[in-house]
Amino acid sequence: MTVSAISTRWPAPAKLNLFLHVNHQRADGYHELQTLFQFIDVCDYLTFAIDDSDCVTLDSELNQVVADSDNLILKAAKSLKLATGYKGGAHITLEKNIPMGGGLGGGSSDAATTLVALNALWKTGLSKQELGAIGLTLGADVPVFINGYAAFAEGVGEQLQAVTPAEPWYLIIAPDVHVATAAVFQDPELPRNTPKMQLDTLMSSPWRNDCEMLVARRHPQVANALGWLLEYAPSRMTGTGACVFGEFEQQSSAQAALDKMPSHWRGFVAKGKNISPLEQTLLSL
């Protein structure tokens, strides 16, 4: 086996759902949504060593807890090989920084970065639209990470329209609980009847997350974090949880609140980004 390209480190950014409305449940079980995605500057990082082995391997701390057959990074790489007929391989190393099960999209972002990076490094030449179609088979959030820009999303999250919301600083708290997305969307008490609205109406209305009240009832850790954070800033839950975030105009204000956070909680300050760090990497090539 020979290595045919230098290892390259690519970011896989986290996202926030600035609002999330559940409109209805379709006959196939999926839910129609309206949501606003914005990236933050906290990222996982994937390093790719390209070779001619025809194999894709992964070195990650998650190897002990996520089976290869369920790993979205490996599934993404293999899906790209299948779609393009590419015969070479890669060894991928994952640096995991985004909390798992927190609604920050880490797994979907890792898959998107794998598709985008290997498409560039393998020179397979697929468009963003073609990569997005592959990504959608892996998860509803994968296309927004491939697209690379803050977006209003409809459908199951795959119908994207670029938007440019304000880019504040966020204090993000990651409660010590794993919230399963499937469990939230299967819960009979989840509201599923928020009327669809036009984008300009949504952007000018108070933002909320239809999953938040249910998840807070099911998980007191989420309710406690929200209650504490609301004392400092407008705050909501992202995705199906468990992470919650508060908006601040200044980094110093977000940091000051973080410094007051209970010491046994996990939290961090991040900057909102309408162009994702992954897209910025791609544009720099």
What letter represents residue 227's amino acid?
G
Q: Which of 51, 110, 141, 210 is catalytic?
A: 141
Q: Are residues 46 and 97 in contact, defined by beta-carbon separation less than 8 angstroms? A: no
**Mean pLDDT per segment of 10 residues, for the chain of length 285 residues?**
65 98 92 96 97 93 75 97 97 94 94 97 96 95 96 90 97 94 94 96 97 97 98 96 97 98 96 97 90
Enter the tokens of residue 96: 């995991």
pTM (two decimals): 0.94
What is the CB neighbour count within 10 angstroms for residue 193? Answer: 10
Enter the tokens of residue 231: 């004392």
Enter the tokens of residue 51: 């070779």
Nearest to 216 by CA among 186, 190, 249: 190
Between CA 15 and CA 38 the distance in angstroms is: 6
Q: State residue 30's pLDDT score.
A: 86
Between CA 190 and CA 20 the distance in angstroms is: 12
Q: State residue 233's pLDDT score.
A: 97
Q: Kindly report the CA angle at 73 between 8 and 132, in degrees rounded to 5? A: 90
CA–centroid distance for 285 within its chain: 23
Nearest to 23 by CA among 218, 268, 195: 195
Q: Alpha helix (H) ranges present in the chain?
A: 72-84, 106-121, 128-138, 142-147, 181-186, 199-204, 212-218, 220-229, 251-260, 277-284
CATH among 1.10.10.10, 3.40.50.300, 3.40.50.1980, 3.30.230.10 for 8-163: 3.30.230.10
Q: Which of 15, 75, 81, 273 is catalytic?
A: 15
What is the CB neighbour count within 10 angstroms for residue 143? Answer: 25
Q: State residue 100's pLDDT score.
A: 87
Rg (the chain; Cα; Å): 19
Q: State residue 2's pLDDT score.
A: 52
Query: Tens digit of pLDDT for each residue in 26-49?
Result: 998 889 999 999 999 999 999 999
Active site residue 128: no
* Strand 89-95 to 56-59 pairing: parallel
Q: State residue 88's pLDDT score.
A: 94
Q: At 233, is the secondary structure helix, strand, or coil?
A: coil
Active site residue 141: yes
Q: Which CATH class is domain 169-273?
A: alpha beta
Nearest to 236 by CA among 209, 204, 273: 209
Tell me the domain boundaries of the chain.
8-163, 169-273
Q: State residue 68's pLDDT score.
A: 75
